[in-house]
Amino acid sequence: MYGGYFSSSEITDIDDKYIGSVIDLETLTKMTRQMKISMGGMMWLVSFFAVLIFAVLVYLLSKIIIEKNAQSISMAKILGYSKGEIARLYVMPTSIVVVLCVLINIPLSVRIIGIIWKAMLSQMMTGYLPYWIDPKIYVEMFVAGVICYGVVAALELKRIGKVPMDMALKNVE
């Protein structure tokens, strides 16, 4: 069992030996300043690798889609479809799915990290440190995801352009 009190003023009716810790604005500010000094410098590295992993994963999945449909793309070229029409057939659906997944996964990830944060605080730290993310971070995450996918989509458009037209004729079953 755990008993804790939040108060806007000093608690004087409880003996000091029963008070485990007191966290006031100064203590909280000092703790956040220390965390920023300790971890702030490596957060750009974490962000960079997160974006890199996202880009590689999306690239590999898009590459698989293009490779699996190479014969259909070749047939579409033979039938006279333009590069833009083929892109709308193969890249646009992937784009819609990626944007929807990013929109769904950002709040879901934030929620899961919030649960993990609360569990970690209850087991590893005394006191209370609120979990808060600046709303502009949501926009930054979405924009980073869309830009990464834009780069991947451009690479996939090049890959579609390189699919030879004779592939459909060679592999007729």
Q: What is the pLDDT of residue 165?
A: 82
Sign of CA dihedral 10, 15, 17, 20: negative
- What integer pLDDT is reported at residue 84 of this predicted model? 86
Q: Confidence class of residue 130 from pLDDT cuts 50, 70 and 90?
A: confident
Please give the pLDDT value at position 1: 60
In sequence order, what DSSP letters do the residues of 21-78 get, joined into one string? Answer: ----HHHHHHHHHHHHHHHGGGHHHHHHHHHHHHHHHHHHHHHHHHHHTHHHHHHHHH
Indicate whether 168 pLDDT > 80.
Answer: no
pLDDT for res 34: 85
- Residue 126 has a pLDDT of 66
Average pLDDT across the chain, whole number: 85
What is the pLDDT, as a whole number, of residue 127? 63
Nearest by Cα to 143 from 58, 61, 51, 53 = 51
Above pLDDT 70, what percent of the chain? 94
Q: What is the pLDDT of residue 173?
A: 59
Q: In this predicted structure, what is the pLDDT of residue 57?
A: 92
Check pLDDT > 80 for residue 171.
no
Average of pLDDT values for 104-126? Answer: 87
pLDDT of residue 143: 94
Cα(19)–Cα(36) distance, rounded to whole angstroms?
A: 28
The 10s digit of each residue's pLDDT in 16-72 is 887 777 777 788 788 888 888 887 778 888 889 999 999 999 999 988 988 898 888
